[in-house]
Chains A and B, each alone.
Chain A
Amino acid sequence: MGAGHAHRLYRHGHSPVHALPPHTKLAAVFAFVVVVVSTPREAMWAFGLYAVLLGLVAYAARVPAAFLLRRLLIEIPFVAFAVLMPFVAEGEQVTVLGVQLSLNGLWGAWNVLAKGTLGVAASVLLAATTELRELLLGLQRLRLPPLLVQIASFMIRYGDVITDEMRRMRIARESRGFEARGVRHWGVLAKSAGALFIRSYERGERVHLAMVSRGYAGSMPVIDEVTASRAQWSYALALPSAALVVCLLGWTL
């Protein structure tokens, strides 16, 4: 389970951001997003400054801009939603290029776009600089219930296995001439899903037996306790603190 199991979103590197303990990074990203969400939407320049802050972090983490932008594509459904908003919202209307738009809708669209994009960018940076196992350790360190962390770690570890199993089933279907074209083929796909569930569940039972035979009694031993020095904390919290200053300026100005 060592090499080759790093997720696709992770970018291997040795930057100072990579080296930070995971729980400080998680706390920093979470605090940053909270600050961004509580900024008034009228303070447009504040969101520009947030973007600059994230850019600095990306620079420090040596994450290329193209990588970051490509990963931002995940929010396209919401961009579509936000673009619709000025047309359906009520309130004061303005005419832009001969089209009636709602002023409130424009603000709302801006609000969702700006905050959503910054949130996605922060999460992408976190995932790009933190390994999965470290993320889970960080979550545990942040006092998430251990059972929840265990479930999450099993999900992450076996996610690829189960997905590969699904891929093999698809190849098996296709090599027998099956092509899903419409509602009539749902039965076959649902049978695949059912078989996938049975295989997952039975794999879970085997995993459990293997664990029991190695001395598992309901809780995982914590081998590598991650700790953070004060310097590391202050380094990680520099991002949300800077954001907080911007946010306060945004409220007062």
Chain B
Amino acid sequence: MHVPDGFIDAPISAATAVVAAGAIAVSLRGARRELDERTAPLAGLVAAFIFAVQMLNFPVAAGTSGHLLGGALAAILVGPYTGVLCVSVVLLMQGILFADGGLTALGVNITDMAITTTVVAYAVFRGLVKVLPRTRRSVTAASFTAALLSVPAAALVFTLLYSLGGTTDVSLSKVATAMIGVHVLIGIGEAAITALTVGAVIAVRPDLVYGARGLEQRLKLRVNGELVDAAPQLAPVHTSHRKVWLTGLAASLLLAGFVSFYASSNPDGLEKVAADHGIDRKAKEHASADSPLADYGVRDVEDTRLSGGLAGVIGVGVTVVAGTGVFWAVRKRRNTSQVA
């Protein structure tokens, strides 16, 4: 699935490069939290492992064989941040050294194969582990599902990027059917091998599996014939919402300001149906139709794309301010009601 140069056009390649750089920056900080100063050697060795395991061929039948992609496996074994880093480093080195995947398509490749697979796999995995009973078997089952979904998700993201900036004229439905169809099959193989591998590691060193942390039985002491917990529970770690907030803001600004450049200028489905059937003749113009931001464009800005992008950015800004205001007011009221 390594995308070569010239397959995705320049603006989308640049946009995905920005996304990839941002995700790697976040992962670098996250990995330092997961591994502290051991990050460099451990993440490096895990990247070497991913690189090696991609060369391990799994025979399917009658001479055909497949290999592991490793995004889901990395996320479950070493955690999502380190996983993103490891797969990204593998892709970077494959691009520079082995000419596998174009240099300008590096952003596309990292967004697609490193970020999408690990994030989707880890989200699914975490969700399932929370729901399922706390046993080793459910960790294996969760890794199966996570890997199963992560591969078609990457194919879906690839199709999305292709629809935004593909340089060829193959219809979107054909690309989507081919990509997702093939990758559902690949996903089944990936899922089986990931689950078996995670199971094999859990059987020997369960402490190494990041996704299975917190599954180990707590040490109990028998005091006067009764079982008591040996160690007191650790205090909950305070997590800051600021990072989530900032990432969300950056993503919305990027989507609103940049991607809307490329959004279709055709009316959306509902508007089109309305126009086709003459429904909109009855519709009155919206009360704010002559506001400076009407119809997603900034007045007095001639270039329609620039104007659309600007309107998007302003819209996100207003929404954030309004949303934060509401949130703040609600929280303040809750605090005062608690005091009272």
Residues of A whose CB lies within 8 Å of any CB of B are: 7, 9, 26, 29-30, 33-34, 36-38, 41, 71, 74-75, 78, 85, 88-91, 102, 104-105, 107-109, 111-112, 114-116, 118-124, 126-127, 132, 135, 145, 147-148, 150-159, 161-163, 165-166, 180-183, 185-187, 189-198, 200-201, 203-205, 207-208, 211, 216-218, 220
Contacts and interface: CB of A to CB of B under 8 A. Distances in A.
A208 B42 contact: yes
A198 B64 CA distance: 28
Contact of B41 (A154, A161, A166): A154
Interface stretch (B120-128, B194-202, B237-245, B304-312): B194-202
B103 A166 contact: no
Contacts of B200: 190-191, 193-195
Contacts of A207: 41, 45
B68 interface: yes
Contacts of A218: 37
Interface of B: 4-7, 10, 13, 24-25, 28, 31-32, 37-49, 51-53, 55-61, 68, 77, 85-86, 89-90, 92-93, 95-100, 102-104, 167-171, 174, 192-193, 196-201, 203-205, 208
B155 to A, nearest CB: 14
B142 to A, nearest CB: 16
Contact of A196 (B52, B60, B103, B168): B52
Contacts of A89: 168-171
B37 A116 contact: no
Given A166-B56, A189-B58, A201-B208, A119 B103 contact: yes
A152 B205 contact: no
Given A33-B103, A114-B6, A204 B169 contact: no
Given A37-B13, A200-B46, 15 more contacts: A36-B6, A74-B99, A88-B170, A105-B169, A111-B168, A115-B4, A115-B5, A123-B103, A147-B39, A151-B86, A154-B43, A162-B45, A190-B200, A193-B56, A203-B45
A159 B99 contact: no
A118 B97 contact: no
A182 B42 contact: no
A190 B197 contact: yes
Contacts of B44: 150-155, 157-158, 204
A127 B99 contact: yes
A99 B45 CA distance: 52
Contacts of B199: 190, 194
B205 A198 contact: yes
19 contacts: A30-B104, A33-B104, A111-B167, A112-B168, A120-B4, A123-B97, A145-B28, A147-B39, A148-B85, A151-B85, A152-B44, A159-B52, A162-B48, A163-B51, A189-B58, A189-B193, A194-B199, A198-B204, A201-B49
A104 B167 CA distance: 10
Contacts of A33: 5, 102-104
Contacts of A9: 97-98
Given A112-B7, A192-B56, A193-B53, A217 B37 contact: yes
A88 B40 CA distance: 46
Highest count of chain A CB atoms <10 Å: which of B6, B95, B104 = B6
Given A116-B5, A159-B51, A208-B38, A123 B168 contact: no
B5 A148 contact: no
